[in-house]
Structures are given as structure tokens and as C-alpha cells.
């Protein structure tokens, strides 16, 4: 669950356009939905409160659910502290 207490806008692109939250909104993520939060207002900070549904939140394989999904490469590069070319390394064929 995520409650946005201060923000002008937050985007969740995995939700096919139904992803805009504003201050005071709450959202419950389906279990296993890989997501990220982005404050689109560079002049104002965002504050969010999040909680898990249980003490054992489980795990997901991030590479298979994040890369090549349509999330902007610029956002992924910043999130993982990589260059854009580093997001899609060429396979090593010399093995």
C-alpha cells in the first residue's frame, strides 16, 4: 500500500495509463507488481508512506520484470546507477 501525503503527481507506468496519483491518494499494489515511484515536480518534494501486507513480503526477480518492459531507460539508468548502454549489455559470445 502507498499513501501519497505530499506531491503534485506520481506515475506508475505499469498500470497502462491508470497511474496518476495526487496528494491524499492511496493505492494498493497487487502482490508481485514491480513498480517505482517518480515525483514529476522538481520544485517540490514528495512524501509517501508505504506498508507491506505481511511480515513476509516475498521476492520477485527484478531483471525479468523490469528490463524490456517499456519503463524509460533514463529512469532505469538513474535507479540502478548505470549508463544507458549498461542497461542492455551485449552477450559474451567468446565463451
| Cβ(87)–Cβ(67) below 8 Å | yes
Q: What is the total residue count of the chain? A: 95
Cell triple for residue 22?
A: 495526487
10 C-beta neighbours (distance < 10 Å), count: 22
Tell me whether residue 37 is annotated as binding: no
List, as residue ranges, the binding site. 35
List, as residue ranges, the binding site for Mn(2+). 35
Amino acid at each position: 500500500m502507498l499513501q501519497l501525503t505530499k506531491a503534485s503527481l506520481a506515475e506508475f507506468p505499469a498500470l497502462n495509463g491508470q497511474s496518476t496519483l495526487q496528494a491524499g491518494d492511496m493505492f494498493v499494489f497487487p502482490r508481485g507488481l514491480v513498480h517505482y515511484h517518480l515525483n514529476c515536480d522538481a520544485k517540490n518534494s514528495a512524501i509517501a508512506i508505504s506498508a507491506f501486507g505481511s511480515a513476509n513480503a516475498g521476492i520477485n526477480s527484478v531483471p525479468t520484470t523490469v528490463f524490456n518492459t517499456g519503463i524509460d531507460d533514463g529512469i532505469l539508468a538513474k535507479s540502478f546507477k548505470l549508463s544507458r548502454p549498461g542497461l542492455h549489455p551485449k552477450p559474451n559470445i567468446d565463451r
